[in-house]
Amino acid sequence: MTDASWYLAALGVGLGSYLLRISPFIWARCLQWGKDNIAFLTYVSLAIAAGIVSKALFMRGSQIHLDVDTLYKCVAVFCALILYSRKRNLLLCLISGVGVAVLLKMLFAG
Amino acid sequence: MSSDFQSGVKAGTSVGITFVAIFMGFGITASLAGTPNLAAVLMTVIVFAGPAQFAMIEVGAQTGLLLPVISVGVLVNLRFLVMSMALNPIFESVPRRVLLFWAQFISASSFLVTFFESRKDRGTDPFEFFKGLVFVSYSAAVAGTAIGVWFGHGLPNLLGFGATLFLPIYFSLLISSDVRKRSELIAAGLGFFLTPLVEIVLPGWGIFLVALAVGLLVVRVAE
């Protein structure tokens, strides 16, 4: 692709994405939001969040990738969750979890 | 600066660190694919959606054609429709013309963190919180891309490995603190197990399709 094409691509996708982002704020305001719709959107949000977690843990590109790094990541998430159930401090648990994974990789990656 | 904005900035710190890492990766990929450095930064500024940007680079490098690049970028971003729909009732009191500007900064992270915060009933103004969150995450994305295209090749791998873990750990903690009912736990569980499987079959669509299917299924079963 030429340099100009890359700039045009950025503008095109930017415009298309912007229209997707704003359209619900334009037409969905005309709708009444029932309890079921709110529940549906809550489930959708939780499924998206959980999907992002599993994708980050188990996938590389578009393939499931299970190796020793996957194990470090799972241990890190598990440690963070255990710590969070006791301390309820989000930032502390987050940094501890990442720290555990980095430490494991440093110790066992040679 | 309101306290809700500051809360958003604070919540955005972990998202910001992750975004620096992810978009640095994007900057390096774009640079290796022959994208002009400024065009790569412009992509983050205008598109602000990591998965779509990676897809654009891949398709552009493979086909060399403009139309497929634009199509794939927009299609991968279809999930923004659902996210804006979910944010609409939360931002009900915000004037439409204001939202027409701020909607540009909706991403999976800014949407989810704001959504979870709004469910905590702490009296936080969700829109101010969202703005604080966006302030950090958007700056981090642009900075990450710039670092990636200009300096990314010399950074140690261990740093990148650690940085990519902030987002999954952060979302795991948010889910664990936010799930209140059994139906919500089932929705999260199904999202967790099904997303990678659908991603294998339809790369780039797993999160979006699974979330919609899970939402419809659990609402139906919960009824």
The CA distances from residue A61 to A51, A58, A66, A86, B202, in Å, are 14, 10, 12, 35, 12
d(C-alpha B218, C-alpha B173), whole Å: 22
Residues B141 and B185 in one domain: no
Interface test with B, best of A11, A43, A84, A92 (most B CBs within 10 A): A43
Any CB–CB contact under 8 A between A12 and chain B? yes
Q: Is residue B154 predicted with pLDDT exceeding 80?
A: no
Least confident of A69-73, B157-161, B215-219: B157-161
Any CB–CB contact under 8 A between A48 and chain B? yes
Residues A58 and A85 in one domain: yes
Closest-CA residue of chain B to A32: B89
DSSP class per residue in A41-103: HHHHHHHHHHHHHHHHHHEETTEE--SHHHHHHHHHHHHHHHHHHHH--HHHHHHHHHHHHHH
Partners of B192 in beta bridges: none
- Let me know: does B218 contact B186? Beta carbons within 8 Å: yes
Buried b or exposed e, range B184-204, using 16+ CB within 10 angstroms = bbbbbbbbbebbbebbeeebb
Any CB–CB contact under 8 A between A67 and chain B? no
Which residue range is the domain that position B17 belongs to? Answer: 3-178
Residues A13 and A61 in one domain: no
Residues A86 and A104 in one domain: yes
Residue pLDDT, tens place only, B28-60: 888 888 899 999 999 999 999 988 898 888 888
Residues B30 and B101 in one domain: yes
SS3 for B86-150, per residue? HHCCCCCCCCHHHHHHHHHHCCHHHHHHHHHHHCCCCCCCHHHHHHHHHHHHHHHHHHHHHHHHH
Tokens representing residue B87 in the block: 């944010």
Residue pLDDT, tens place only, B114-143: 998 888 877 889 999 999 999 999 999 999
d(C-alpha B153, C-alpha B40), whole Å: 15
Any CB–CB contact under 8 A between A89 and chain B? no
Closest-CA residue of chain B to A107: B158
Residues B198 and B153 in one domain: no
Partners of A64 in beta bridges: A59
Complex-level ipTM: 0.85
Tokens representing residue B93 in the block: 């009191």
Residues in B closer than 8 angstroms to A69, CB to CB, are 161
Residue pLDDT, tens place only, B171-217: 898 888 888 889 999 999 999 999 999 989 988 778 888 988 999 99
d(C-alpha A46, C-alpha A18), whole Å: 24
How close does chain B come to A7, measured CA to CA in Å? 5
Residues A99 and A81 in one domain: yes
Contact A9 B119 (CB under 8 A): no
Any CB–CB contact under 8 A between A77 and chain B? yes
pLDDT-based confidence at residue A52 (cuts at 50, 70, 90) = confident
| More reliable by pLDDT, B147 or B18 | B147
Residues B144 and B156 in one domain: yes
Residues A55 and A93 in one domain: yes
Per the structure, how many domains does chain A have? 2
| Eight-class DSSP state of A109 | -
pLDDT-based confidence at residue A58 (cuts at 50, 70, 90) = very high
Which residue range is the domain that position A55 belongs to? Answer: 33-108
d(C-alpha B22, C-alpha B167), whole Å: 10
Residues A68 and A44 in one domain: yes
Residues A19 and A58 in one domain: no
